[in-house]
Amino acid sequence: DWRSTLIPAISVPVAIVGTFFFLSLFGFTINLLTLFALVLAVGIVVDDAIVVVEAVHAKMEAGEHDPKKAAHSAMQDISSAIISITLVMSAVFIPVSFISGSAGVFYKQFGITLAVAIVLSAINALTLSPALCAIFLKEHDKSAKKKGFAERFFTAFNVGFENTTAKYKRSIEFFIKRKWLAFLGIAIFAGIFILLLNITPKAFVPGEDTGAILSDVSLPPGTSLERTEEVLLQIENKVKDIPEIKEVLRISGRSLLSGTGSNYGMVIVKLKTWAERKETNQEINAVVQELFKRTASVKDAKVLYFARPTLVGFGFTNGFEFQLQDQKGGTISELSEVNNKFLAALNSRPEIKYATTSFSPNYPQYRIDLNVASIKKSGLTVTDVLGTMQGYYGGVYASNFNKFGKQFRVVYQSEPEFRSNPESLNQVLVRNKNGQMAPISQFVTLVKVFGPQAIERFNLFTSVKITGAPNEGYSSGDAIKAVEEVASQSLPVGYGYEFSGMTREEISAGGQTLYIFLLCLVFVYFLLAAQYESYMLPFAVLISLPIGLAGAYLFAYLFDVSNNIYLQITLIM
């Protein structure tokens, strides 16, 4: 009956277009979350319209020949059910929209978008759909002789559907007579759900093939920029002929994980489009493995490859990230020793593909010793001496100038050849209180030492940033658990760790999931209790949840889907 299919087809664009209006009103963008909600909303809108069409058809088959009267009678029967379903689903998604943190951003945009679509769908079902039924639907002519393949197919389908419905009714009667069997089945499904919940891999968001691979290249401390450039060129030549790679960009003197330094570099790999990489062995993870193989022979540098993170702003990798903290105020050498032992233990775990850090206490440096007495005797201050050195060696921002319609900064600094060695201090002069120029070397002594390039702090403690990735077959949740176990076994007293970046958000989101789900259950329960004016009847609705949850986690486990925030949003729905 094409007339029946026309009614849901008209209802869908009305609700979806209306949802876009509210997206603009709330300041939301068209992104993965809102599109995800709209895709699910299409099913809900169609479902509401089908309920109305089926109810009107049932009235007409029961003897009501006038479509208008049939629509009016049907709406008297199902209006309360449509309102109840709408309130329940809104009660689920609107409260979770107020969850704080990064996870709250996901729940807010998804929840409000879907709630708006659900409400508009209900308004459609209560107003537009019955009006369309009264206009379009006609009573079936049962005396008409069925002809053609389509008619025979639909007749056979209806017979099969009615037989299935009859069997379903008999099974319901069977379980009503044997209530203990129904409760036993629910208990079994609850146990299956708990089991699958514990064994399903955990993650914050699933990794995606973004078409770009980043790398971190680090050479021994003190390596010159020229040598770093040579190694980067060697890496580029090894990987550029991989068929899936479109472009390769190399940058020396800086890397995403290690920061800035002459011994650091990075290679950015841009892959071909998805249309040109259709095979499984052409996906981004396979290309990363091939990159590791191609550059394993580069002995002068430590080279790491990782896919671009799915969420920008929560770190540079899709793996894990944490800070090893010196909580007792020890020395840098002690922190370095603890860090090396901890990394060795962590890399021995099967869950960990690699765990690394850019921290090293072996960078060649010069310590500046000031002769304060001589400085004061000359009528100078320590600030005068250090300020002069800053201008010659480090550079000082002076002012701006405008040219070609743009603003440029003015920084004064000595030419490279005049600041390339310690002897250049003899050529740096500072004016004393008598107006005479004195070489700064008579106030300053350079002592060659070794130390870290930078000392980082996290939550006020001296820390070492460690990044890594889970091994094949393991999730980021497995890697986090491995980090916790290794830390409890190998970290001495006075040292601790804190997760950071996207790993911290993953742990925070995982801790909120249980409370979000319980909050949804409480809201749904009280809404149903108010709807049915009974405190017991809502349990008949909620008691079926273990079956749905077990089924969702079963298919997630079978299809290797991690327990991420998208799965959690789906469970709430």
Residue-wise burial string across 508-532, b where 16 or more C-beta atoms lie within 10 A, e elsewhere: ebbebbeebbebbeebbbebbeebe
Radius of gyration of the chain (CA): 34
Between CA 111 and CA 133 the distance in angstroms is: 31
Among 178-182, 194-198, 505-509, the minimum mean pLDDT is found in 505-509
Percentage of the chain lying above the pLDDT 90 cut? 10
The residue that leads in pLDDT, 310 or 126, is: 126
Q: pLDDT-derived band of residue 343, with 50, 70 and 90 as boundaries?
A: very high
- Number of alpha carbons in the 13 Å side-chain half-sphere of residue 355: 29
Between CA 110 and CA 40 the distance in angstroms is: 10
Query: Identity (one letter) of the amino acid at 312?
Result: V
Between CA 567 and CA 516 the distance in angstroms is: 13
CA distances (Å), 208 to each of 177, 196, 214, in order?
A: 50, 24, 14
Q: At what angle do helices 101-123 and 501-532 cross, to 10 degrees?
A: 30
Q: What is the mean pLDDT of residues 434-451?
A: 86
The residue that leads in pLDDT, 487 or 106, is: 487
pLDDT, residue 528, reads 80
The first and second tokens of residue 15, run together, are 């609700």
| CATH number attached to the domain at 363-451 | 3.30.2090.10
Between CA 50 and CA 143 the distance in angstroms is: 26
| CATH number attached to the domain at 1-144 | 1.20.1640.10
The residue that leads in pLDDT, 428 or 531, is: 428
* Eight-class DSSP state of 220: P
pLDDT, residue 338, reads 93
What pairs with residue 561 in β-bridges?
none
pLDDT, residue 438, reads 84
For the stretch 346-377, pLDDT in tens is: 999 998 988 888 888 888 888 899 999 988 88
pLDDT, residue 147, reads 57
pLDDT, residue 89, reads 78
To which H or E segment does residue 256 belong? none
The first and second tokens of residue 447, run together, are 């002592």
Among 27-36, 88-97, 244-253, 404-413, the minimum mean pLDDT is found in 88-97
List the alpha helices (DSSP H) in 124-147: 129-136
pLDDT, residue 337, reads 92
The first and second tokens of residue 552, run together, are 């969702």
Q: pLDDT-derived band of residue 144, with 50, 70 and 90 as boundaries?
A: low
pLDDT, residue 314, reads 57
Between CA 61 and CA 71 the distance in angstroms is: 12
Residue 101 pLDDT > 80: no
pLDDT, residue 518, reads 80
Residue 19 pLDDT > 60: yes
30 burial class (0-12, 13-18, 19+ CB within 10 angstroms)?
exposed
Domain residue ranges of the chain, discontinuous segments joined by +: 1-144, 208-309, 363-451
Which residues contact residue 171 at a Cβ distance below 8 angstroms, ignoring those fewer than 6 apart? none
Q: pLDDT-derived band of residue 88, with 50, 70 and 90 as boundaries?
A: confident
Q: pLDDT-derived band of residue 516, with 50, 70 and 90 as boundaries?
A: confident
What's phi and psi for 467, nearest 5 deg?
-125, 160
| CATH number attached to the domain at 208-309 | 3.30.70.1430
pLDDT, residue 324, reads 93
List the alpha helices (DSSP H) in 284-439: 284-294, 332-347, 372-377, 382-389
Between CA 23 and CA 21 the distance in angstroms is: 5
Residue 174 pLDDT > 60: yes
Q: pLDDT-derived band of residue 326, with 50, 70 and 90 as boundaries?
A: very high
Q: pLDDT-derived band of residue 146, with 50, 70 and 90 as boundaries?
A: low
Between CA 115 and CA 110 the distance in angstroms is: 9
Residue 80 pLDDT > 90: no
Query: In 10 A of CB 204, how many CB atoms?
Result: 25
pLDDT, residue 487, reads 92
To which H or E segment does residue 140 belong? none
pLDDT, residue 526, reads 84
By the 8 A CB rule, do 197 and 215 touch?
no
The first and second tokens of residue 395, run together, are 């550079």
Between CA 445 and CA 366 the distance in angstroms is: 9
What's phi and psi for 410, nearest 5 deg?
-110, 120
Between CA 523 and CA 526 the distance in angstroms is: 5
Between CA 484 and CA 112 the distance in angstroms is: 36
3-state secondary structure of 250: strand
Residue of 254, 244, 250 whose CA lies nearest to 279: 244
What average pLDDT is seen over the chain?
84
499: left (phi over 0), alpha (psi -120 to 50) or beta: beta
Query: Identity (one letter) of the amino acid at 376?
Result: K
Q: pLDDT-derived band of residue 316, with 50, 70 and 90 as boundaries?
A: low
Strands 320-326 and 456-458: unpaired
pLDDT, residue 284, reads 82
pLDDT, residue 260, reads 82
The first and second tokens of residue 41, run together, are 């909303």
The first and second tokens of residue 122, run together, are 């209900």
Between CA 137 and CA 59 the distance in angstroms is: 12
Q: At what angle do helices 565-572 and 101-123 cross, to 10 degrees?
A: 40
